[in-house]
Amino acid sequence: MERIRKYIDDSTFRFLAGFLLSAAAGFWLSSTDMAGVASFADISLAGGLGLPNAAAVLTGSLVHCILKRSIGRNIVKIGAMLFIVIAKMFSEPKRDPKFSGIITGLAVFTSGAAVSALIGEVLYKLIFYVFYGILSGASAASLAMIFSGVRHRRSIDLTGISGCAYAVSYTLITAALCTVKMPVLNPGIVFGAAVTLAAAYFYRHTGGVLCGALTTCSAFLADTEAGMTIVLLPAAGLITGYFYQRKINAAAGLFIGLNFMLMVLTGVTINSVENMMNILCGTGLFLVFAPYYSDKWVIVSEENTAALPDIINSRMSFLSDSIGAVRKESEKIAELLTVKKSDHDMVGRCSEEVCKKCYKRLTCWKTERDDTETGFRKMAELSEFSKENFPYELHDCLKKDELCRSFEQCVKERTAVKLLEMRYSESRKLLAEHMKMTEEIVDSAGERLDVRYSAPVSKVIREKLVKFGYSPVNVIAYYNSKNRFLAEIYFKASALPDKCGRICDLISDELRLPLDISGPVYSGREMRIRVFEKPEYSLQVYGAAVCAGGSKENGDTSLVFNDGMGSAYVVLSDGMGSGHDAAVESRLVVRMFKRLVSSGVEHNSAIKLINSIMFTKSGEETFATLDAVSVDLDTCELTLIKSGAAATIIRHRGNVIKIAQPTFPIGIYEESEAYSRRCDFEEGDIIIMFSDGICEHEYRFIKELLLSDSDLKRIVDEICRKAEVFNPNVRSDDVTVIGIKAVRTNPTR
C-alpha cells in the first residue's frame, strides 16, 4: 500500500496515468454516435481538459480512425480537436470553463465550415455545424467546470450551475455508453439504472426521478428503441425514492419489482426482457458500491440547508451549557477562596503580640491556661474595650492596656474584612446573574425556528428595493408555521431609509399581498424592519390614566407594540412614587423591554438584563414594576409576564379570573425572577391591566362590570373613575387602566 500511495503521489505517475486514460477515452468515444450522427463527446472532452490531456484525446481518436480506416469520415472531428489543441497551446494555463466552451464551439464550426467548403456543401452544412458547435461547446464548458470543481473542492458539487454541468455531462457519458455494442446488455442503461437507484436511495424521490429522466433522455439520444424500453424508469426512481434510506437490499428489491410491474403493464416484448436484464445488472452494480458511498464526496444544497439550523442549534446549546458550567465553577471557587476570620485566630494573634513580651507568660498559658483562654474568648466577643468591662479571669494581667488596643485593632480589621466581603459578595452575585442571562440569551438564540425560507421571494424583494434606490444589507423572506408570509430587511446605519412605510408599500405591490410593518429596531451598526402578512387576530386596546393628587405628570408608562414575528405586546410599568421621577423610571423600563424583545431576546432574559441596568445605574434606590401581556396573533395564545406588578383580570368564556403573583419590582434586588403564565384566551375575551393605584377593594366591582358589559371603553373608563372611591388611603397614587380584547383581523374568515 505504501508503494502504491508513493506512486499516486508522484507527479510524473499522475501525468502518465492521466495521459493514458485520456487517450483511451478518445479512442473509445471516437466511435460513438448520438441521435444518428457522430457523437461530439470526444470533442467536448478535449475542450474540457488541459493541453496534455486534450492532445491525448486527439491521439486516441486518431489511432482509432487509422485502425478503422475512417479518417475521412471523421475529418471534421479530428480537425476540431486539432484546432482545440492549438488554441490551448496559446491559452494555457488559463482554464476558464466559458473560455473552453467558446474555443470548442468555434473549433467545431471552423472545422466543419472548412471541410464543407472543400466538398461544396457550405450552405447545406453551415446551420448544422452551428448547432453542433453550440452543443459541443456547452458540453466542453460543463466538463471543464466539473474538472475544476473536483480539483479545488475534492468533491462533487451538485448545487447551482455546477449541478447543471453534471447533468449535461452525465447525459453525454450515458448516451455514449448506450452506443457500445454488447451481447444482451446495454452498458448505458446498466450504468443509468445503477445511478438512478443510488440517487433515489440516498437523495429520495427528487434524485430518483431526476436521474431516471436524464438516463431516459440519454438512451433516446443514443437509440430510440433503447429509450422506449426505459421510458418509465423515472417513475420507478420516484416511487423508490419515497423509501428513503431503508435497507439497501429492500430498496434494490423494490426497484426491481417496480420495473417488472411497469414492464408487465406496458406489455412484455423481447426488448423489455433485455431491458430487465439491464435493470438487474444495474441493481447488482448498486449493491456492490452502495455500502462504500459517503456524502463527504457529494454536496447537495437541500441536505446542507436542512442540516445548517441543527448545527447552529447544537453549537449555541453547547456554548450555553459551557457558560453555565463556568458560572457554577466560579461560584464554587469563590466559596473556597472566601476568607473567614474566627475568634480563635484573633485570640492567637493578640496573645502572640502582647503576651510574648510578658514575664508571666508561662504562668498564664500553662498554670492558669483555662482561665486565660476563657478570658481571651470573652475579649474577642466584646465590641468596646476598657478596664471596666475587662473579663475577671484576666484581673491579674499586667498588660491590660496593650491587650485592649490589640483586640480593638483586630475587631476593626475584622469589620473591614466583613464589609469588603459583603461588597465582593454583591459583585459576585451580580456577575453570576449576568452570566446566567448570557447563558439564557445564547440558548434562546440557538432555538430552531419553525419557518420555511424562500430564496426566490427574498431575491425579488431585494431587486425591487434596489430598483427604487434602497440598499438593503440582507433580505430574508420566509413563511411561519401557519404559512403566513414575513420578511426581514436589514440596512446599514449609514444608509437608513427615510420612510419605512414606503418599503412596505413597494413589497406589497410587488408580491400583490396586503402587508403590514413593525417599527424599526436599531442594533447600532444596522437597522431591521419586518414586513408581514396580517395574522388571523388583532388586539383592541384602550387605556385611561389619572395622575395622583397634586401631580402634573403620571408616573405610569404603557406601550403597545408588535415584534413583527406574530406576537403583540401590551406593557405597563409603574415607577416608584409618582410624578416626573417615577415617569422617568417607568419609561426606561418599558423602552428597554420593547427594544430587547423586538431584537429577539426572550422576555425573561430581557427582564433580568433590565433589572441589572436599573440596579447598578445609580447609588439611589430606584425601581419600577413591569406588567406585560403577550398574545400570539396566529393562535391567540396568551402569556402574562409580571415583575412586582398588580393583579390582572381576565374574562374568559363568561368566567372572570384574577391572576396575581408576589414578585420583586425591577431594580430593587440584584437578582430578578419574573413570573410568567400561559392562559386560555380567545376571540371576544377581555383582559384588564392596571397599576398599583387600583385598590383590591375594587376587584369585585371590576368582576361585576366585566360580566355585565363588553364595551372596552366603558369598562376602562368606569374602573378608572371609581378608583379613588375604592381607595381607603389618604394619599392617592397614579392610576392607569388598560383594557385588551382579541378580535379577528378578517371577520369573514
Averaged pLDDT of the chain: 79
Tell which residue, 505, 523, 638, 642, has the closest CA to residue 572: 642
Stretch 597-626: mean pLDDT, rounded? Answer: 78
Spatial CB neighbours of 493, under 8 Å, sequence gap ≥ 6: 522, 524, 525, 526, 527
Spatial CB neighbours of 201, under 8 Å, sequence gap ≥ 6: 240, 241, 244, 245, 248, 251, 286, 290
CB atoms within 10 A of CB 145: 24
How many residues are recorded in the chain? 749
* Contact in structure between 687 and 739 (CB atoms under 8 Å): yes
Cell of 74: 471523421
Q: Report the CATH fold assignment for 537-744.
A: Phosphatase 2c; domain 1 (3.60.40)
Judge whether residue 340 has pLDDT over 60. no
- Would you state the pLDDT for residue 463? 92
Matching residue, cell 444482451? 184
SS3 245: coil
CA atoms within 13 A on the CB side of 535: 25
Stretch 173-186: mean pLDDT, rounded? Answer: 80
How would CATH label the architecture of 156-299? Orthogonal Bundle (1.10)
- Would you state the pLDDT for residue 550? 62
Q: How far is CA 163 from the centre of its chain?
A: 25
Q: How far apart, in whole angstroms, are the C-alpha atoms of residue 194 and residue 279?
A: 8
Please calculate the CA angle 600-606-734 and round it to the nearest 5 degrees.
120
Judge whether residue 748 has pLDDT over 90. no
Check residues 208 and 153 and name the one with the higher pLDDT.
208
What's the predicted TM-score (pTM) here? 0.60
* Contact in structure between 626 and 666 (CB atoms under 8 Å): yes
Please calculate the CA angle 83-89-94 and round it to the nearest 5 degrees.
110
- Would you state the pLDDT for residue 4? 44
Judge whether residue 343 has pLDDT over 80. no
Judge whether residue 598 has pLDDT over 80. yes
Q: Return the amino acid letter for 487.
A: A
The H-or-E segment that residue 518 falls in is none
Sign for the pseudo-dihedral over CA of 6, 11, 17, 22: positive
Q: For 643-676, write each residue's pLDDT tens digit.
A: 988 889 999 988 998 888 888 888 887 777 788 9
- For the chain, give the percent of residues with pLDDT over 90: 9
Task: Kindly provide the b/e burial profile for residues 529-550, where b requires at least 16 CB atoms within 10 angstroms of the residue's own CB.
Answer: bbbbbebbbbbebbbbbbbbee
* Contact in structure between 704 and 651 (CB atoms under 8 Å): no
Cell of 329: 465553577
Spatial CB neighbours of 738, under 8 Å, sequence gap ≥ 6: 541, 542, 543, 558, 570, 572, 688, 689, 690, 716
- Would you state the pLDDT for residue 542? 93
Q: What Cα–Cα distance (Å) separates residue 25 from each residue in 560, 585, 705? A: 72, 80, 90
Cell of 492: 446599514
Judge whether residue 248 has pLDDT over 60. yes
DSSP string, 23-48: HHHHHHHTT-EETTEE--HHHHHHHH
CB atoms within 10 A of CB 574: 32
SS3 351: helix
- Would you state the pLDDT for residue 35? 62
Query: pLDDT tier at 519 (50, 70, 90 boundaries)?
Result: confident
SS3 536: coil
Q: Report the CATH fold assignment for 453-533.
A: Phosphorylase Kinase; domain 1 (3.30.200)
| 3-7, 24-28, 495-499, 521-525, range with the lowest pLDDT | 3-7
Cell of 246: 431503508
Cell of 352: 502572640
Neighbouring-strand partners of residue 679: 638
The domain locations on the chain are 1-154, 156-299, 302-448, 453-533, 537-744
Q: Is 195 exposed, middle or buried (0-12, 13-18, 19+ CB in 10 A)?
A: buried
Tell which residue, 490, 507, 642, has the closest CA to residue 570: 642
Helices 11-29, 51-68: axis angle to 10 degrees equals 40
Question: Does 156-299 match 537-744 in CATH topology?
Answer: no
Tell which residue, 667, 688, 671, 670, has the closest CA to residue 582: 667
Stretch 191-206: mean pLDDT, rounded? Answer: 87
DSSP string, 558-626: EEEEE-SSSEEEEEEEEBSSSSHHHHHHHHHHHHHHHHHHHTT--HHHHHHHHHHHHHHS-SS---B-E
- Would you state the pLDDT for residue 433? 67
Q: What Cα–Cα distance (Å) separates residue 66 from each residue in 22, 63, 71, 73? A: 18, 5, 6, 11
Strand arrangement of the beta sheet that strand 556-562 belongs to: 556-562, 567-574, 626-632, 637-643, 675-679
The H-or-E segment that residue 528 falls in is strand 526-533
- Would you state the pLDDT for residue 107? 83
Tell which residue, 749, 533, 530, 539, has the closest CA to residue 637: 539
Stretch 211-224: mean pLDDT, rounded? Answer: 85
Q: How far apart, in whole angstroms, are the C-alpha atoms of residue 306 and residue 720?
A: 53
Residue 582 sits at φ, ψ, to 5 deg, of -65, -40
Check residues 692 and 54 and name the one with the higher pLDDT.
54
- Would you state the pLDDT for residue 2? 47
Query: pLDDT tier at 137 (50, 70, 90 boundaries)?
Result: confident
Stretch 744-749: mean pLDDT, rounded? Answer: 63
Check residues 335 and 248 and name the one with the higher pLDDT.
248
- Would you state the pLDDT for residue 426? 64
Q: Return the amino acid letter for 577.
A: G
Judge whether residue 618 has pLDDT over 90. no
Judge whether residue 71 has pLDDT over 80. no
Residue 391 sits at φ, ψ, to 5 deg, of -60, 140
Helix ranges, 338-473 (H): 343-354, 361-362, 369-381, 400-445, 455-467
Q: How far apart, in whole angstroms, are the C-alpha atoms of residue 129 and residue 136?
A: 10
Judge whether residue 749 has pLDDT over 50. no
